[in-house]
Amino acid sequence: MRFEDTNIEDVLLLVSKKFGDPRGYFMETFRKNLFESEVGSFTFVQDNRSYSAQAGTVRGLHFQIPPHSQGKLVSCSSGALLDVAVDIRTGSPTYGKFVAVELSAENAFQLWLPPGFAHGFCTLMADTIITYKVTDYYSAEHERGLLWSDPALGIEWPVAADKAILSEKDRGQPRLSELQSNFIYAVNDELGRRSRSR
């Protein structure tokens, strides 16, 4: 398993090696010791799965605020999607910037985003299933959102805003300029940041 840097520090792409034969393939999708050596000490407490019937379905951008903020390890087990993580850590040199990666059942990539990032995705195929491990339990009281189509973010979604399939709740999320400061950027802070050798 390789841990590859993205354009934002602390957001990592996990690439697993497939061992194939005429029957199919085998691959490791998570190893605690490797994850801790590359990312840091995080404990996953809940696994989630979301099914989207149609291509062009957008979910997000979502996050939970402290004390129930969540790191997420995201993968796609069926179909394909564009996965997006937006830095919402006040004081971060990449505040308001994003990472966008195509995750699919075929490429088997995973994306790690620590607490302090808003997360969302757009399905590229029908019958897409996204799965993700999180570092804290779901809490409706601490759930928040960011408007997926905020022009200030500059995200190039694979669907036009008027064609996207999304919930009314996600249509009404606040813009980046309207977000409260719930996450503070600091090296080696309580959010789990750690220096990584390049």
Give whole-number Cα distances, 51 to 13, 55, 137, in Å: 22, 11, 20
Among 25, 51, 62, 142, the one annotated catalytic = 62
Q: How many CA atoms lie within 13 A of 135 on its CB side?
A: 22
Among 51, 68, 132, 138, the one annotated catalytic = 132
Respond yes or no: is residue 132 known to be catalytic. Answer: yes
Q: How many CA atoms lie within 13 A of 40 on its CB side?
A: 19
Respond yes or no: is residue 95 known to be catalytic. Answer: no
Whose CA is closest to 72, among 16, 131, 112? Answer: 112
8 Å CB contact between 143 and 62: yes
Q: Which amino acid is at 108?
A: A
Q: Is residue 44 packed enough to be buried (19+ CB in 10 Å), middle (13-18) or exposed (0-12)?
A: middle
- Residues known to be catalytic: 62, 132
